[in-house]
Structure 1
Amino acid sequence: MIRLAAETPLGGLCVSHGDLTLTELPAVRLTLLAPWPGEARAMSHALQAAHGVYFPEPGETLENGGTRILWAGRAQALLAGPAPAKELSHHGAVVDQTEGWAGIRLEGADAALVLARLCPLDLRGKAFQAGRTARSLLGHMNAQITAVDGGFELLVMRSMARTAATEIEHAMRNVAARG
């Protein structure tokens, strides 16, 4: 009998160059939340009641236990972790995005220099501190970039995950070679 095994988008990626490390993040449930016009406040209250976080302001990331919410654009957020409470659908669109994204973590003192080669944003510490998030380009791909202690977490479309990892690793090699 043939047994099928689930594969992650990057097959457990873990590479290092110099002090830089690129690893695949474990899969987590992702849900896009988009309040309907006039329902933003109600959606935020429902989020607070059900998950202990409110709808984020632009560039904001919030966490409460195993729940994380990332601002993802005008009137959009990504809920990471739990299944969304049913009450949220009374106030806006609630769309499962879990299978559409892949997560990557880039760590190291020069992580911002690596991403500077691929992203038009200023991701240096003072400009983009831990807990900040942005939707931007990563090379020619769209990405959700979040600053975390020691580096960055990136979400890219699953279909572009290998391309993103290859381009980041190439930039890592170049930055490490300069050291």
Structure 2
Amino acid sequence: MAELLVKTACDGLEPLKIGLLTLTESKPQSLTTLAPYRGAEQALDKALTTAHGIGFPGVNGSISGAGARVLWFGRDLALLMGPEPDAGLAKHAALTDQSAGWAVMELSGAGAEEVLARLCPVDLRQAHFDIGAALRTELKHMMASICRLDKDRFQIMVFRSMARTLHHDLKTAMEARAARG
């Protein structure tokens, strides 16, 4: 019988250090979409808080704590990152395992905003996109989820099939940023 090996979406992609910027794969973790049933939004928020210590985020937001993060992932949709979802959440929402479907990378360092500005049509400067902000947007020619984790640190997610393309596009933008000094 064939032995199957689990590989992350970024398997074979090397971490990058270009100038002051770093691009790395985020540590693999469970990813589960939470789509509340009609009228169950408040009950889901309460159940999520009870089970994982964090509630359901508002539009373009995220909530972190206790080894978990929940980020806004679209209209009436959030993504639980970290722990496996508590089984009780299924009473209030459709839960879908997304763990193998996404490439998750972190871009960090001075100039990260400028790198993303070369690729995204949205204003990601901290004055408009503060720590904890999350959105779904176009990144070059791919759809992506971007979350600001810290002043100069972003989490970027694309579909698994686009991992190499994201790595290449970010590398090119990082090199252009570094060449400017």
TM bucket, shorter chain: over 0.9
Match of 1:70 in 2: 71
Q: 1:177 aligns with which of 157, 176, 179?
A: 179
Match of 2:153 in 1: 151
SS in 2 for 1:172: helix
Identity of aligned residues (%): 45
Q: 2-side partners of 1:44 and 1:81: how far apart?
A: 17
Normalising by structure 1, we get a TM-score of 0.94
Normalising by structure 2, we get a TM-score of 0.93
For the aligned residues, what is the CA RMSD? 1.5
Q: 2-side partners of 1:4 and 1:82: how far apart?
A: 24
Matched to 1:173, the amino acid is: E
Match of 2:44 in 1: 43
Q: 2-side partners of 1:164 and 1:34: how far apart?
A: 27
SS in 2 for 1:99: coil
**Cα gap change, 1:109/1:50 in structure 2, threshold over 3 Å: closer, same or farther?**
same
Q: How many residues align?
A: 179
Q: 1-side partners of 2:8 and 2:39: how far apart?
A: 39
SS in 1 for 2:100: helix
Please list every run of 5 or more consecutive structure 1 residues that lacks an aligned counterpart in the other structure.
none
**Cα gap change, 1:2/1:93 in structure 2, threshold over 3 Å: closer, same or farther?**
closer
**Cα gap change, 1:57/1:5 in structure 2, threshold over 3 Å: closer, same or farther?**
same
Q: Map 1:6-25 to 2 at 5 A.
A: 6-11=6-11, 13-25=14-26
Point out 4+ residue stretches in structure 1 off by more than 3 angstroms: 1-6
SS in 1 for 2:170: helix
Superposition deviation, residue 5 in structure 1: 4.1
**Cα gap change, 1:36/1:3 in structure 2, threshold over 3 Å: closer, same or farther?**
closer
Q: 2-side partners of 1:75 and 1:4: how far apart?
A: 35
Matched to 1:155, the amino acid is: M
**Cα gap change, 1:33/1:170 in structure 2, threshold over 3 Å: closer, same or farther?**
same
Superposition deviation, residue 90 in structure 1: 1.0
Match of 2:109 in 1: 108
Q: Map 1:121-160 to 2 at 5 A.
A: 121-149=122-150, 150-160=152-162
Please list every run of 5 or more consecutive structure 2 residues that lacks an aligned counterpart in the other structure.
none
Contact preservation (8 Å) 1:27, 1:102:
no
Q: 2-side partners of 1:21 and 1:134: how far apart?
A: 21
1:79 has 2:86 as partner: no
Superposition deviation, residue 13 in structure 1: 2.6
Q: 2-side partners of 1:26 and 1:123: how far apart?
A: 24
